[in-house]
Amino acid sequence: MMTLKFGLIALAAVGMTPLAAQGQTPANPAPQAQAAPNAAAPAGPTAAAANPSATPAAATDATGASAVAPGAAPAAPAFDHAAPTPGIGMPDGRMGLQDQFTPVGREASAFHNNWLLALCAAMSLLVLVLLLWTMVKYRRSANPTPSRTSHNTLVEVIWTLVPVLVLVAIAVPSIRLIRHQYSPPPADLTVKVIGNQWYWSYQYPDNGGFEIVSNMLKEKGDAAAGTRFRTDADGPRLLAVDERLVIPAGKVVKFIVTSNDVIHSFAMPAFWTKTDANPGILNETWVKVDKPGVYFGQCSELCGARHAFMPIAIEVVTPERFAQWVATKGGTMPGATPAVAPADSTAATQVSPAAVSAPAPAAGAAPVAPPTAATPAAPGNTTPGVANRAPDAPTKL
Ligand SMILES: [Cu+2]
């Protein structure tokens, strides 16, 4: 019996061992497999972040190189971008609102600065005076037997009527402002603004439907060797981008705002504009900027790890310069003779692989306008460029 028992135990032990081993074996790779994505996770956003930045740079390389490559088509004419003015269209340490450059912005900031703030100050002062007066006049030492008064019709009418009048005084200009904000004049230009994790892309359906991809420019120490980095001519740190959204001055520009992934927010403080970019929804806002210049904003909806690194830069130029800029992007002005061939097919074929891998132009040089259509041709491009979103491009808005 004992031998049989030992035999059974031994058998069980032998039988258990492979089971245990089998149990262990798949278990071991499992944590490794889990560890792998974990290990890759921090690298993921970095790589994803690097790619969008790298793409326009690669396109720029292509443009720069195609200008010198024998037999290659001449590069698109470069556009001389303006340098921003300190204190205009950017935070500069001042208290209060930024200077406004749209009619709605001026109306809103005047309403805030001259009316709401004044009203708030007057009301706070009134309450403070009443409090001090009560505390001094009716203090215990000066007034040992307190009054038993419980009703006073005149005082009750005053404290009901005055707040009502204050609310009316706020509501009338407020509703007028909302009416001006949400009844835009007919648009001279429509731009589709698309939020992406974590950059912006802009489409110009009125100008041939070309698209530009706008990434934040890294600091000199952070940018990879040979790639473009921020200079003061681009704008302040964390606000400068490689491709600015360009619009004409004095024209009504309608922004159709949407998103490719999560909720972003298209915000430009100097234009009094902040509009959520929701996936699957087209929101609308508009601006009419009188003064040419460079204005900066940021994504204003917490949208993920690199939310803080997707600034918005809008360059407002004269209508003549806007037409020049559109030409550098391969677009057309409404009413102008349409281009002979779609820009994306021709431009893409003109970019040779050698041109794509050519070194970057001198850092800090004036931004060279890359033909947008070349973007999809860049190797390793994960940015949804024109080719990747061809069905969207011709969308009539
Ligand atoms: Cu965002």
**Percent of the chain surpassing pLDDT 90:** 54
Determine the average pLDDT of the residues in 216-235: 90
Q: Return the pLDDT at 149.
A: 84
Q: Return the pLDDT at 59.
A: 38
Residue 308 Cα to ligand 1 midpoint, Å, equals 8
Strands of 293-298's sheet, edge to edge?
245-248, 311-317, 293-298
Determine the average pLDDT of the residues in 13-20: 40
Determine the average pLDDT of the residues in 221-245: 91
Residue 278 Cα to ligand 1 midpoint, Å, equals 10
Residue 91 Cα to ligand 1 midpoint, Å, equals 19
Long-range contacts from 162-166, C-beta under 8 angstroms, 24+ separation: 166/119, 166/123
d(CA 383, CA 59): 12
The CATH T-level fold of domain 189-377 is Immunoglobulin-like (2.60.40)
pTM, full prediction: 0.64
Determine the average pLDDT of the residues in 124-137: 95
Residue 276 Cα to ligand 1 midpoint, Å, equals 10
Determine the average pLDDT of the residues in 219-235: 90
Report residue 146's pLDDT band, with 50, 70 and 90 as the boundaries: confident
Residue 57 Cα to ligand 1 midpoint, Å, equals 21
Q: How do residues 168-206 score in pLDDT, each as one tens digit?
A: 999 999 999 999 999 999 999 999 999 999 999 999 999
Instruction: Kindly state the helix (H) or strand (E) to which residue 124 belongs, with its residue range.
Output: helix 117-137
Residue 307 Cα to ligand 1 midpoint, Å, equals 5
- Residue ranges per structural domain of the chain: 103-138+156-182, 189-377
Residue 201 Cα to ligand 1 midpoint, Å, equals 12
pLDDT at 237 over 70: yes
Q: Return the pLDDT at 77.
A: 62
- Residue corresponding to tokens 């009134």: 126
